[in-house]
């Protein structure tokens, strides 16, 4: 069974950080902690709502250039890399690579799922891919 299967079907919850409900960043945090032993920051204390895309985009813009993250070329992603996407004109959505070309992610009001990011609706929105120092 693939590691991502245990994270499929989780419900959407704004600022959610547990299996009871997650937003896109909350969903990234769970497997990083469970599978890699890396406790990523929660950010619940510095953004008021994941629907405030400008606030989320500002945090992403700052953090993606800081350690422990480093950018990897689009198309060179591997499991547990992050993929960032532009929504409503801002880079404010994140998924975690489950397999080549596929991400585990969640969007507002839906259940978490694995979906292709290398084609279809997400391809044109894919702006950046990041690798954590603990995933080298």
Average pLDDT in the chain: 91
Domain harbouring 55, CATH code: 3.90.1720.10
Instruction: Show Cβ contacts of residue 48 under 8 Å, excluding neighbours closer than 6 positions.
Output: 55
- For the chain, percent helix, then strand, then coil, each to nearest 5? 30, 30, 40
Instruction: Write phi, then psi, for 54 (nearest 5 degrees).
Output: -65, -40
Instruction: Write phi, then psi, for 83 (nearest 5 degrees).
Output: -120, 130
What does the pLDDT read at residue 88?
82
What does the pLDDT read at residue 37?
95
Does the reported pTM lie above 0.75?
Answer: yes
Q: How many domains in the chain?
A: 1
What does the pLDDT read at residue 49?
66
Residue numbers of the domain that contains 41? 3-135
- Give tens-digit pLDDT for 49-104: 666 667 777 777 777 877 899 999 999 999 999 999 998 888 889 999 999 999 99
């Amino acid at each position: 069974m693939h590691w991502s299967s245990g994270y499929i079907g989780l419900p959407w919850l704004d600022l959610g950080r547990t299996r009871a409900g997650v937003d896109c960043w909350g969903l990234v945090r769970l497997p990083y902690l469970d599978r890699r032993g890396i406790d990523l920051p929660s950010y619940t204390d510095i953004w008021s709502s994941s629907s405030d895309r400008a606030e989320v985009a500002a945090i992403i813009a700052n953090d993606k250039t800081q350690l422990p993250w480093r950018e990897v070329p689009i198309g060179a992603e591997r499991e547990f890399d992050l993929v960032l996407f532009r929504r409503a004109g801002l880079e404010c959505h994140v998924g975690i690579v489950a397999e080549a070309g596929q991400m585990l992610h969640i969007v507002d009001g839906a259940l978490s799922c694995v979906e292709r990011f290398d084609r279809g609706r997400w391809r044109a929105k894919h702006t950046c891919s990041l690798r954590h120092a603990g995933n080298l």
